[in-house]
Amino acid sequence: MQQVLFHLPFTASFFPPDGVPLYGFGAMLFLVFVVTVMIVGVVRLPAIGIPKEKVLDLAVVLFLTGIAGARVVYMWQYADQFPDKSLYGLGKAFIQIWNGGIVFYGSVIGGLLGYIVFYRLVLRKFQISTARLADAIAPLLAIGLAIGRIGCYLNGCCWGQVACTECQTVPLPPSLGEFPLLPAHARDQLVRPAYSTDRLQQIRGLQTSTGFTLKPRVLVGRDTILEQPMDPRSAVQSIEPGSAAAAAGLQPNDVIIGVNGEPNRIVLEISGPGDAVAAALVQAKELGGNAIGDSENPFGVTTRVTFDEPAPYRTAVAALRANDKVVLSVHDWLWELARDWPRGRKGLSLQVQRGTETATVEFTPKTVTFYPTQLYETISMVLIAILLICFQPFRRHHGQMMVLLMLTYGVHRFLNEAIRIEPTYSYGLTLSQWISVAIVAAGILLELFLRATQTKLPPGLQPLGPPAPVVVA
């Protein structure tokens, strides 16, 4: 998993703290576009009569409409991941394809719609055979999928089921199926407790978010006894056996006083009516707090104030508890970071207090081992692309390569989907499995239709494009 391949040099001053990132997922999508355009533009499409000046236009249309369709289907399938249903919220989520991902079958729908429009507006006057075009692009779809799934692997999305040691018929190299936990998309499913019997929920609660548990904090409220001394910063309760935290030397009772080079600030949340929160904020700032933003909620306003040390925090709490119009709660900077972890950052550096001594512990929390279904699909697509290229000279009619791709990919995706973590719809099958069944059925019907409508090709090796004209001397 490599969400960020690198940051562009000399851009940190304009885009702090690290500069402009080059995302692995986006880089693979760009590589798909470049590779397919080069092969399509130089070899495949000109062979079937599409003018070279229209090749790039078609490639851009198919790429953009394919990505759009893939994102729309993902947002529909996982609508619960996008709580903001406003036009602005959905539009913003649509652009952020790295948050969650895309669905290949959606790209098929989007690309098909894009092709229909482009054909009617541009290609129809060149009398381009759609069946020949389908044969030309079929291997490129497989190649594009092979590269695109590498992007999914780098992004940490589209993972497989948990590959426990007992259920692995063939042992997996852990490095292939484990991801840095904090930026991994799978963290939500792994860490949260299970609250329902839904398949997506059953995986939750398998591990902690950092490889260790924390001691319960002293809750803050008007009716809570103010304990002295009170330090609400995270303190380690127990270490997960065999975790990266255990290997790095983290110990029970360690008090975390620094996170990734910053103080582990105490974060005090003040909630209530807007005027009461505003007055409490002024008081907290006078007592040494620093405001870091507020948000609206159904009960009023919540603002957050940070304190670098426990002493001013205790003083502020003692004063604010007298305000019966606000509710106080507390956590720390480690909790803030773990909740909204920076994209692409993997390692966790903790400065801990052990009695009178301090120590630094650095490690990268890892997920449990997953089946790397992204890489499984990459391998399958490479094999399917080779099969299509080898089959090309022996097809009996135009369009048969696309039929072969539909049949082979439908079977592969149905099987690969069985070891992924996806919600089921009916009869225990996921949405993609049902679409795979439909794709295979459509492939069979398409083959029957093409046999009835396409001229049968003679025996022997068949070129992709029309035969060369015979020159009569």
pLDDT band for position 346 (cuts 50, 70, 90): confident
In a domain, 220, yes or no: yes
Residues 180 and 263 in one domain: no
In a domain, 245, yes or no: yes
**Which pLDDT value is given to residue 166?**
62
C-alpha–C-alpha distance, residues 364 and 228, integer Å? 34
Please state the rounded mean pLDDT for residues 271-297: 86
Please state the rounded mean pLDDT for residues 204-222: 74
pLDDT in tens, 23-57: 888 888 888 888 877 776 667 777 777 777 777 78
In a domain, 394, yes or no: yes
Pairing of strands 262-263, 255-259: antiparallel
In a domain, 175, yes or no: yes
Asked if residue 197 has pLDDT above 70, the reply is no
Domain boundary among 332, 363, 394: 363
Residues 263 and 125 in one domain: no
**Which pLDDT value is given to residue 16?**
67
Asked if residue 383 has pLDDT above 90, the reply is yes
Cis peptide before 51 (omega within 30 of 0): no
**Which pLDDT value is given to residue 238?**
92
Residue with tokens 């590959």: 163
Residues 235 and 358 in one domain: yes
pLDDT in tens, 397-454: 989 999 999 999 999 999 999 888 777 778 888 888 998 999 999 999 999 999 998 8
The β-bridge partners of 430 are 424
Residues 192 and 269 in one domain: no
331 CB neighbour count, 10 Å cutoff: 18
**Which pLDDT value is given to residue 460?**
66
Residues 396 and 444 in one domain: yes
CA dihedral 92, 97, 101, 107 (to 10 degrees): 100
Asked if residue 359 has pLDDT above 60, the reply is yes
Domain boundary among 325, 342, 363: 363
Cis peptide before 9 (omega within 30 of 0): no
Asked if residue 91 has pLDDT above 80, the reply is yes
In a domain, 276, yes or no: yes
Residues 408 and 428 in one domain: yes
Residues 237 and 286 in one domain: yes
Of 352, 371, 373, whose CA–CA distance to 363 is shortest?
352
**Which pLDDT value is given to residue 200?**
47
Residues 223 and 344 in one domain: yes
In a domain, 115, yes or no: yes
In a domain, 458, yes or no: no
Residues 431 and 415 in one domain: yes
Residues 282 and 335 in one domain: yes
Residues 320 and 222 in one domain: yes
**φ, ψ at 455 (rounded to 5°):** -70, 130
Asked if residue 68 has pLDDT above 70, the reply is yes
**Which pLDDT value is given to residue 50?**
73
In a domain, 379, yes or no: yes
The parent domain of residue 268 ranges over 212-363
Question: Domains in the chain: how many in total?
Answer: 3
Asked if residue 472 has pLDDT above 50, the reply is no
**Which pLDDT value is given to residue 444?**
96
Residues 218 and 358 in one domain: yes
Distance between start and end Cα atoms, the chain:
63
Domain boundary among 149, 180, 202: 202
Which of 8-17, 121-130, 144-153 is least confident? Answer: 8-17
